[in-house]
Amino acid sequence: MESLPLNDVRRIVLLWIGRLGDILLSTPALAAVRARFPGARITLIAGEAGGAAGPLLVGPDRILLLRRCHRPLENLRLVRELRAEEADLFIDLNTSFSRASSTLTWLARARVKLGFDKGRGTALFDRLLEAPGPEEHMLARYGRLAQALGAPFEPRLRIQIPEADLERGRALADSLLQPGGEGIVRIGIHPGNFKKFDNRWPEEGFAALARNLLTRPECRLFFFSGPGEEAPVRAIVDRLPRPVPILGPQTAATAAGVLQALDLFIGNATGTAHLAVAAGVPTFLLLGDYTRTVWTPQGFCPASLLPDWSPQDVPAGLVAEMGGVPHFCVVSDCWESCRSIPAAAAWKALESALGILGRRRLAR
């Protein structure tokens, strides 16, 4: 790709029409753009779902939201703002084709438009990055973007939680869980992604893990429930031998505050999982091979269908660290889906993860 004319860049527009987890995974790219152009005014255009991350983001000076189709007047205002002044640099962070992002790219006024080759809509851009490979991690794609800009790049998710949300989150965690003490492990479980069947580990698997956790006196747990998830999460909790609290929908910032009060997050590939990683909370995830390869924050190492081990003898592939925080995952033998992971294998891995966390706490 030819070198970009990046002299005197004062106004930048970034575009990412994605969900919460998509935006959080792009935070290393946002940080790279800010580092490369510290004095520029940066506007991020996000989808309505991804815009929930707004209060947590470091980098953008303002965030404009593309609303759903039933709010046309607000979208007209977005178009007016997009057209009001010419940007020096417009970057489409979407790496696959979407009509919404292509339309906004076409409408935007910018001296230079940069994006990934998606096989369609290529004439909209002045410069194109090579099309992503099918197994190229999202952070590797953003690393190539940063390289094209001459920007430093660190593949670490980062957020800034407002103090009020930290306090609210701690208070919520304390209300759901008995007070912590020496040796107590505070655990939040989110069995979400109910709209994506293959990305959702079976509900009976989460019930089995929770039943086993309840037999361990050091474990305190509750379940997260996102918007519209209350009934299926309640159905899981109703299978347990004793009541377990459910935390209903929260803002992303408050949920981040809750997560920071925990010792471990358990879940599928969801926005909540990415939020936990960005908040610096140890995680234990159940993943399909595609999700692990392309979307899960780098640093995770698969423990694919698990040989025998004990908490004292853990294969190196089970645990990886990101910023000093351990993360664990179990990866299915299926590219498209996580659903084939056996509950017994997941529990064996979780026992090992709890052993590692316990030894780390004793070593502090």
297 or 55, which is more confident? 55
User: What mean pLDDT comes out for the span 333-356?
Assistant: 93
pLDDT at 55 > cutoff 90: yes
DSSP for 182-220, written as a single string: TT-EEEEEE---TT-GGGS--HHHHHHHHHHHHTSTTEE
pLDDT value of position 183: 82
309 or 271, which is more confident? 271
Task: Identify residue 28 by its one-letter amino acid code.
Answer: P
Mean pLDDT rounded to a whole number for the chain: 89
pLDDT value of position 195: 87
Q: How confident is the model at residue 69 (pLDDT cuts 50, 70, 90)?
A: confident
pLDDT value of position 249: 97
Provide the CA 105 distance to its chain's centre, in angstroms.
25
pLDDT at 92 > cutoff 60: yes
pLDDT value of position 302: 38
User: What mean pLDDT comes out for the span 42-63?
Assistant: 95
Query: Which alpha helices (H) appear in 195-299, and where do they start and end?
Result: 203-214, 230-237, 252-260, 271-278, 289-290
Q: How confident is the model at residue 340 (pLDDT cuts 50, 70, 90)?
A: very high
pLDDT value of position 157: 93
How far is residue 42's CA from residue 212's CA, in Å, rounded to a whole number?
A: 48
Q: How confident is the model at residue 3 (pLDDT cuts 50, 70, 90)?
A: low
User: What mean pLDDT comes out for the span 138-144?
Assistant: 95
pLDDT value of position 323: 60
pLDDT at 167 > cutoff 90: yes
Domains of the chain: 11-149 (3.40.50.2000), 164-362 (3.40.50.2000)
How far is residue 248's CA from residue 233's CA, in Å, rounded to a whole number?
A: 10
Percent of the chain that is helix, strand, coil (3-state, to 5): 40, 20, 40
Enter the tokens of residue 254.
Answer: 């408050």
Q: What percent of the chain has pLDDT over 70?
A: 90
User: What mean pLDDT comes out for the span 242-264?
Assistant: 97
Enter the tokens of residue 105.
Answer: 């790219």
Enter the tokens of residue 70.
Answer: 């039933």
How far is residue 213's CA from residue 224's CA, in Å, rounded to a whole number?
A: 16
* pTM for the model: 0.91
Residue 327 phi, psi (nearest 5): -130, 145
pLDDT at 341 > cutoff 70: yes
User: What mean pLDDT comes out for the span 106-113?
Assistant: 96
Strand, helix or coil for residue 89: strand
Residues 208-219 pLDDT 10s: 999 999 999 999
CB 36 within 8 A of CB 151: yes
DSSP single-letter state for residue 295: I
Residues 171-184 pLDDT 10s: 999 999 976 667 89
pLDDT at 300 > cutoff 90: no
How far is residue 54's CA from residue 23's CA, in Å, rounded to a whole number?
A: 9
- Tell me which H or E stretch contains 99: helix 99-107
How far is residue 91's CA from residue 96's CA, in Å, rounded to a whole number?
A: 14
Other residues' Cβ atoms within 10 Å of the Cβ of residue 127: 15
Q: How confident is the model at residue 317 (pLDDT cuts 50, 70, 90)?
A: very low
